[in-house]
Structure 1
């Protein structure tokens, strides 16, 4: 009994210390990634460096290397963190709208707000990195492509629900609509960054409204 009690007392502080280290490690990792996603949205994933992040994040270069292992490991972690931020800014708020056409339109509104507010300093993170990696095969390109495919797939699914509900015309191709909507939103993001003129968002919203109306949407639902 006495020996068992001694082991328990010895283990408790060690376990607590390990938990504290884990919490600190998670906090440090998040701080580095939050800085990295902002930097990458402006300069691209290729411009990220362990030394550069160490200069702007509250951790040294060796610690960053310990967290991510390699530059590619860092890039993959940054893409994953960007997906979390994107989901929190666009997908989650839009879930308050009814599935189908109402949610399609809410996703459009939330996407425009996400880009306009510069949730990522360089505009849409994925617009920056998809152009950077479109001709560079490998795990990072695969991760970026997967993120974009998941977004367009989700948008297409909402369009499909709208078709099934009769909010859009029978025969409407959900994938085609999702592709066109995404292209219009991306164009607005790019033009606003280039010119500093936010009117591109108004044009994009009008163009998406026209597109959906052409497929049978009630204009009153697209305000």
Structure 2
């Protein structure tokens, strides 16, 4: 076997393991993903499953990274080239809400795993916090751009608006995942639209 082929096959095996681990984590939680279960599902030995990662924690980190990559591809990548501001932020939340309800996700993985690990200090929680911090920074930047463009009232409290937008997304995630509410996405869209709508300016008499 050539070294190049060996590297390629190792990368393919690693991707198969991460993909299956991601699917299991979406269904049952990240901590429920075990080496034994992955080995059984993939028809591999336990040593073969853990080999590309070294430890279970490294595998968990790889699953979180996979979730981040999928989130970016679905939610933020389609916004490339769009003008920053309220419109782009509304589109981002629309993509996120749609992603929550898409097949194979049953909610937002990053939101779920954040709740799973929020009281458990360590590398996995740190990686989740880093990912969510980048999203929060994106939202803050879009709100700042919307204020600069006059798309939001000048009295808008950026931190409060970001908080309420996040609360809408969390509520939508629970309604989709726990309650299977068919109206959840529509309600969330209406809430985001209301939060990002600038009231009409009344001409001075």
Instruction: Assess same fold via TM > 0.5.
Output: yes
Give the number of aligned pairs.
200
Q: Which residue of 2 aligns with 1:84?
A: 69
Structural mapping, 1:16-55, within 5 Å: 17-55=2-40
Question: Match of 2:152, SS?
Answer: coil
Q: Which residue of 2 aligns with 1:197?
A: 181
Q: Which residue of 2 aligns with 1:130?
A: 114
Q: Does the aligned pair in 1 maintain the 2:106–2:176 contact within 8 Å?
A: no
Q: Which runs of 4+ in 1 moved over 6 A?
A: none
Structural mapping, 1:33-182, within 5 Å: 33-57=18-42, 59-118=44-103, 120-182=104-166
Distance, in Å, in 2 between the alignment partners of 1:96 and 1:178 is 22
**Which 10-residue stretch deviates more, 147-156 or 170-179?**
170-179
Structure 1 residue 86, shift from structure 2 partner: 0.7
Distance, in Å, in 2 between the alignment partners of 1:123 and 1:57 is 25
Structural mapping, 1:8-19, within 5 Å: 17-19=2-4
Larger radius of gyration: 1
**Deviations 1:45-98 (CA, angstroms, capped at 9, x unpaired):** 111111111122354321121111111111111111110011101110122532
- Are the structure 2 counterparts of residues 22 and 185 from structure 1 closer, same or farther at C-alpha, using a change threshold of 3 Å? same
Distance, in Å, in 2 between the alignment partners of 1:184 and 1:102 is 17
Q: Does the aligned pair in 2 maintain the 1:41–1:122 contact within 8 Å?
A: yes
Structure 1 residue 123, shift from structure 2 partner: 1.7
**Deviations 1:104-149 (CA, angstroms, capped at 9, x unpaired):** 011011111111114x433210121111111111111111111111
Query: Which of 191, 208, 220 is the matching residue for 2:192?
Result: 208
Q: Which residue of 2 aligns with 1:11?
A: none
Q: Which residue of 1 aligns with 2:203?
A: none
Unmatched segments (≥5 aa) in structure 2: 201-205
* TM-score between both structures, scaled by the size of structure 1: 0.83
**Deviations 1:155-209 (CA, angstroms, capped at 9, x unpaired):** 1211111111111122433333222112101211111222222201111111111
Unmatched segments (≥5 aa) in structure 1: 1-13, 219-223
* TM-score between both structures, scaled by the size of structure 2: 0.90
Q: Does the aligned pair in 2 maintain the 1:152–1:179 contact within 8 Å?
A: no
Distance, in Å, in 1 between the alignment partners of 2:156 and 2:44 is 52
